Structure 1
Amino acid sequence: MPQPVIRPARPEEYDEVGRVWMESWVSTGLGEASDFLLANLRARIRHEINDGWSLFVADDHGTIAAMLALHVPRLYLDMLFVAPAYQGKSLGRKLLAFTRAKMPQEMYLRCVRENEKAWRWYEREGFVFEKEEIEPSNGFMMKYYRWKRQSAG
């Protein structure tokens, strides 16, 4: 079965991207699905795009399998969420390779400390822990990671 295609998200897909984001977040066990959460995520997508996000989706023949939000000028991988039905199928690794093509020398990201599955995965993928800090907007303790291309030699 061919892998989903990574491409820029279209504005008419933003609401569906918000649903995928919520379902993936809920799959971590750190939140519960709600109309309120969904509305907030959908509104945040539009706000973040206006603030410089480059938003991509993994498109599986018309089904959004994952979302990827980058802020390339800041070298920031902001969001990488894979829909529950697509988790464990190397789609995250494909999205990360796509991200490294966009930011080939260095990038950073944040991950909720309690989302151990995610931050352990980033560590296996070569990201190095830098610090922990509370995110004032939601109260979560965030782990900050950085990845730098290894120089040859």
Structure 2
Amino acid sequence: MNIREANELDYPELRIIYLESRRKNFHWAVLEEMTLDDFDKDTVGEHIIVAEEDNHLLGFASLYLPDNFIHYLFINPNYFGKGIGGHLLNASIKKMNKPLRLKCVSENLIALKFYEKNGWKKVNEEGEKEKYWVMKYE
């Protein structure tokens, strides 16, 4: 598996990963409101790294470097459970300065467990309509 910076040629596949992963896993969200264009809107100004193998993108992390913030970490649903998230998380940690932060939707129990298993700590739960945990890695 190779972890590298994304380029424009990756965007069509990244859009699909972002859309399909959310549709499959975000049971609390309105699926009909999700579109391929969401990836471009949601990652403006962010540094994107990808995991690839055999010329296929397996997942990505979208980082907001000025704040040492992991904005998104998504895995192609066909490759869940293969350690890709851990590789992307470790590469993200190496790219930024500690402490790092991220937000994780409170209903996303699988992701919360993943982050805690990898050394992240819940700081506080926020949000009105949709609750999320602010998490920190030191």
| Shared fold, TM over 0.5 | yes
Please give the residue correspondences for 1:13-32 in structure 2 after superposition, counting only pairs within 5 Å.
13-30=10-27, 31=29
Q: 1:39 maps to what in 2? A: 36
Q: Retained in 1: the 8 A contact 2:124–2:134?
A: yes
Q: 2:47 maps to what in 1? A: 54
Superposed CA deviations along residues 99-153 of structure 1, whole A, max 9, x for unmatched, are 1111252200001111000011111111111111227xxx4211110010xxxxx
Any unmatched runs of 5+ in structure 2?
none
Q: Retained in 1: the 8 A contact 2:6–2:50?
A: yes
> Identity over aligned residues, as a percent?
26
Q: Which structure 1 residue ranges, 4+ long, deviate > 6 Å from structure 2?
A: none
Q: 1:151 maps to what in 2? A: none
The yes-or-no answer on 1:89 pairing with 2:82 is yes
Query: What is the CA RMSD across the aligned residues, in angstroms?
Result: 1.9
> How many correspondences in the alignment?
137
Q: 1:143 maps to what in 2? A: 133
What is the one-letter code of the residue matched to 2:39? R
Q: 1:77 maps to what in 2? A: 70
Q: Retained in 1: the 8 A contact 2:103–2:135?
A: yes
TM-score, length of structure 1 as denominator length: 0.80
Q: 2:106 maps to what in 1? A: 113
CA drift of 1:71 comes to: 1.0
Structure index of larger Rg: 1
SS at match of 1:93: helix
Superposed CA deviations along residues 76-101 of structure 1, whole A, max 9, x for unmatched, are 01100011111101111111111111
The yes-or-no answer on 1:124 pairing with 2:117 is yes
Q: Distance in 1 between matches of 2:39 and 2:89?
A: 23
